[in-house]
Chains A and B, each alone.
Chain A
């Protein structure tokens, strides 16, 4: 069965370190997204991609970057981790058709100490 997987599931790092969270989907979806989820907020969009070599900034993109070198993967990099980036991160994908639902990964709990 097709799926979307994130790794690691849990990560603890120190401020200032570079961290990369992996996202891999086997749906062959063109669209991929990274969100963060914090208490008191709805899911907030960090970056998204509509296809290979396409990347776009979301509403909370500062301090994050992504790259899309193939259809299956959209890694999220925190260039210099900050305590404010402690959060749960979700990757999602969808097909290019309109009104198509998002498929979410199980999330990565990141703690920046």
Chain B
């Protein structure tokens, strides 16, 4: 069964610090991996989409990495801000006509002043 596991489940950091969120997956065949940010009471918003050939992708202070061999991804947040407090969801897409998505349960990040 295809699965996406995220760790840690939750994280508290101080404003200005860096942090790294992890995602492991067993989805096969692999098409792409996505990171979404979900603010409380809102829908998820796309941060990055990475295909098999992409190792690193950045979006402002967010840097995602992908190791397709070990089936692992990380999302690194640099110089955290209070507005980074949210849930971060890893999503993996299957390769194929339906491009089925498997969602992780999300990591709750709290940035404290």
Hey, which bits of chain A sit against chain B, CB under 8 A?
A: 40-45, 90, 92, 98-99, 101-107
Contacts and interface: CB of A to CB of B under 8 A. Distances in A.
Interface of B: 4, 31-32, 34, 41-46, 49, 51, 89, 93, 99, 101-106
Contacts of B31: 98-99
Contacts of A106: 41-43
Contact of B43 (A40, A44, A45, A104): A104
13 contacts: A42-B4, A42-B102, A42-B103, A42-B105, A43-B44, A90-B43, A99-B31, A99-B32, A99-B93, A104-B45, A106-B41, A107-B41, A107-B43
Nearest to B4: A42
Nearest to A102: B46
Given A99-B31, A101-B49, A45 B42 contact: no
Given A45-B101, A90-B43, A99 B51 contact: yes
B90 to A, nearest CB: 9
Nearest to A44: B103
A103 B46 CA distance: 8
A77 B105 CA distance: 25
A37 B89 CA distance: 12
